Structure 1
Amino acid sequence: MNQNAHEPASLPVPAADALGASAELAAQIRGAIAAAGGWLPFDRYMELALYTPGLGYYSGGARKFGRRADDGSDFVTAPELSPLFARTLARALAQALDASGTRRLMEFGAGTGRLAAGLLAAFEALGTPLDSYMIVDLSGELRERQRETIEALGGPLASRVRWLDALPERFEGVVIGNEVLDAMPIQLYARTGGVWQARGVGVDATGSLHFEARALGSPSVSLSNEDAALLAQLDAEIDPDIRYVAEVHPAGAAFIRTVCTMLARGAAFFIDYGFPRREYYHPQRTEGTLMCHYRHRAHGDPFLYPGLQDITAHVEFTRIAEAGLETGADLLGYTSQARFLMNAGMTDVLAEIDPADAAHFLPAANAVQKLLSEAEMGELFKVIAFSRGIDGTLDAFARGDRTHTL
């Protein structure tokens, strides 16, 4: 195999042991492709690259979350950026707990545990202590980091946390998922010369993984009625002579249906980057949104260093909303991260820090600016929430709600 077939010169080269693990995962993926007849749909490749036990990006030992490339991380999330994110988010979640008469919280994809630790402490400060805090995370390595972070809180708070290996059939409380949906496998369809094909993964003559298309009528291609209708709509709206890549999110939609079916009473909040359908499938977004992250650098090659880099796509929030509504859950709200955090009182939380204390106030203010700015995370990131048993809305969605755009 040509080990350097996908190696951009601008990216750091992983350590030898990491390269060895990546090569092992690539060999397993090639085996899966061979067993499937020489081709895998892209969502299956993405699943293997991210979640193969012990070797996938989220199930292996890569650091992932952090502030800088030199700490071995690949990207930063809002909880890592500032503790004020958790303190502000807690205000909105506490109101949902009160409105539903529940005292339990479940977090999906808890990262380093920093959000969990911040929320637990914030709930105590707000006078809304939790009965339990459940974490669902596929990564054993991340679970250990989460335990270390949470145990630093001390016994009483840490004792309320437990990790779930399976979801309960019924849950009453509040669910939170920050940057969970973007890491769920997507399917790809590419139109060239007016003809749609499924874009998947094959192996070339040198043994390298590469994109490979298959006709929609092929035995290995599964096209749902919903996706067929989407492609037909794109044909009607976008010049057929334009080469176009469309991403669809069946895994994310299935996840939302599972969570909203489980939710007997309470609310489920999901924070991620993305757009409603009309913006997502814009005629000018011809190559989709698929992106990879390695050492805080973004690039577009999903076959580089399998298992060592993150592979993501923006969320198509209309499909997410439809999936939740199909279960009978209510759509509690949908808005930008900036509007959600401002409605929840982020500027008030920042004001609790003395501006005269420049060593603390200035870094906090800079982080808040990144969380709220349209040029940073404030507009690209959205918050969508579903509920059962909550009358009316919450303060966090009271102004600037965008459900009409879905």
Structure 2
Amino acid sequence: MSLPEPSAEALATSRELSLRLAADIAANDGWIAFSHFMQQALYAPGLGYYAAGSRKFGADGDFVTAPEMTPLFAQTLARQLVELLPQTAGNIMEFGAGTGRLAAELLLALDAMQCAPAQYFIVDLSPDLVERQRDTIARLAPQLLPRVSWLAALPETFDGIMLGNEVLDAMPCELVVRQDDGRLQQRGVTIRDGAFCFDDRDFSDTALASLAANLVPPVAGYVTEISLANRAFIHTLASVLTRGAILQIDYGLPEREFYHPQRHMGTLIGHYRHHTIQDPFYLPGLMDLTSHVDFSAIAQSGIDAGLDLIGYLTQAQFLINAGITDELAKLDASDIARYLPVSTAVQKLLSPSEMGELFKVIGFGKGIDIDWLGFCTGDRCHAL
């Protein structure tokens, strides 16, 4: 496969990150957990994929997210948020806001419904993306920019709606493997012949070992992911949320499908310039690393932390429930040049063979009493 060549500057960044990772490995008895490698590859200050200056989103980036495809995604989501915001102090907090397009279009849609949030907080670890988000909102919704604030960390308390689109999949995961003799081990990273490679060792984390014993099927050679970071993230959000809602949209599966015996190679994948990369060590810092979300674990983490599980369903069902077809119907279908790209994007968002089935939406509440529009039909909580 022929891949686009990175620039000399990008290659230099990747080499610097690789040297740092090699030093980490040398300092830790020649081995680091894969979660450590993934954390550094994605978030090392100034070097990681999300912390450096490479262009990540859109046609000239590595992948395209739903908000980049059509404004109707945000406009439909706003139909749900407009029902929730009055139940709270009227604030929104978005995690990993990408280019800022979702934030800008949510602000515009909510303002048009006379329900602009009191404050719109964005939590993002990437200085490059924060700058891009600010530029996007200033360009698309300049009158609403004063309502937006950027945070590098969570506040102690929050009253409002917490929102994340494709955030959970980008959190570091652990790799576990069942060896041919039936033993379960943790798969980490070492260096052989000057290159990063996998190396399996016994568990040092008893909590991870216990999870693996309960989740990994008895299939020799079975490799899979367990995200402790996902579980901790939901628990942390719950501890901060005093009243409001948590809405997460991502691609993933319930536990019984995620750890199905036939899914023996796991879901870890790389994305580079719209190419799918199987080798997680390809150009560290220049490639996105991601794994599917175990939504059963997300649901249980929220419940254990005192949240009400409101619903879980496919992205297609959520968007249909929330009225995306009504939003599409507002457009002039006779204006083919404008209508066709939007209708094509909506088809991708809803189609089972595109994003409609693989992407899921999960909602939690705390101290609010409302029937959520997005979960009115087609709920799949029974499958978790």
Q: How does the TM-score come out when normalised to structure 1?
A: 0.92
CA, structure 1 residues 234+151, in 2 after alignment: closer, same or farther (shift >3 Å)? closer
Superposed, 1:308-387 pairs within 5 Å as: 308-387=286-365
Residues 81-128 of structure 1 show CA distances to partners (whole Å, capped at 9, x for unaligned) of 111100101111111113x24311000000000000000000011121
On the 8 A contact 1:333/1:393 being kept in 2, the answer is no
1:5: which partner in 2? none
**Structure 2 unaligned runs (5+)?**
none
In 1, the alpha carbon distance for the partners of 2:112 and 2:30 equals 56
Contact between 1:260 and 1:386, CA under 8 Å: does it hold in 2? no
For residue 166 of structure 1, report the CA deviation from its aligned partner. Answer: 2.1
1:4-403 pair list within 5 angstroms: 9-67=1-59, 71=60, 73-98=61-86, 100-193=87-180, 194-205=182-193, 207-216=194-203, 221-224=204-207, 227-234=208-215, 238-240=217-219, 242-403=220-381
Measure the CA separation in 2 of the matches of 1:349 and 1:271: 20
Aligned to 2:54, the other structure's residue is in SS state coil
> 2-side partners of 1:276 and 1:106: how far apart?
26
Question: What per-residue deviation string (whole Å, max 9, x for no partner) do you get for residues 291-329 of structure 1?
Answer: 000000112111000000000000001111111111111
The 1-side partners of 2:26 and 2:212 are apart by 29
The CA distance in 1 between the partners of 2:283 and 2:291, in whole Å, is 18
CA shift at 1:332, angstroms?
Answer: 1.4
The DSSP-based 3-state class of the residue aligned with 2:286 is coil
Shift of 1:234: 4.6
- Name the SS of the counterpart of 2:62 in structure 1: strand
**1:234–1:168: structure 2 CA closer, same or farther, 3 Å change rule?**
closer
Alpha-carbon separation, structure 2, partners of 1:301 and 1:223: 28
Residues 180-223 of structure 1 show CA distances to partners (whole Å, capped at 9, x for unaligned) of 00000000111121121110000112x1111111123xxxx323
Task: Give the count of matched residue pairs.
Answer: 383
In 2: Cα distance, 1:48 partner to 1:383 partner: 28
Contact 2:85/2:117 (<8 A) preserved: no
Q: How far apart, CA to CA, are the structure 1 residues paired with 2:198 and 2:191?
A: 9
Look up the equivalent residue of 1:97 and give its one-letter code.
L
The percentage of aligned residue pairs carrying the same residue is 54
Residue 243 of structure 1, CA deviation:
1.6
Amino acid at match of 1:59: A
Of 207-216 and 250-259, more deviation after overlay is shown by 207-216
TM-fit CA distance, 1:156: 2.7
Q: Aligned to 1:286, what secondary structure does the other structure show?
A: coil
Root mean square deviation of aligned Cα? 1.2
